[in-house]
Amino acid sequence: MSTAEPVPAPDVVFAALGDPTRLSLVARLSDGQSRSIAVLSADTELTRQAVTKHLRVMEEAGLVEVARVGRESRYTFRPVALDAARAYLEMVSRQWDDALGRLKSFVEE
């Protein structure tokens, strides 16, 4: 992964993570190991086709990257997408803290 890769927009990341199946896939991939669709669909009620659709959404959001290994596609988690979303939430949190601080000062005057 090069440093020139675009950082995903937080809204796209949040939308992708708004599905329990995709959250489950993130959890399964978060150990850094790449996995095939067959492995990711094993031990679930999801078909390979359903897992593939979820992985495409996650790839578009920058949460996973795909690499061809022989005849199969292997997916790897990209933590940079969550880092960007976390940075956004921290910015919003600081804005709320500042606003609440101003409100407190106003009320106490």
pLDDT on residue 85: 86
Parts of the chain with a pLDDT under 70: 1-5
Please tell me the distance from the alpha carbon of residue 28 to that of residue 40, in angstroms, as a whole number: 8
Q: Say if CB 91 and CB 107 are below 8 A apart.
A: no
pTM: 0.76
Q: What's the one-letter identity of residue 43?
A: D
**Domains of the chain, earliest start first:** 10-108 (1.10.10.10)
DSSP state, residue 1 = -
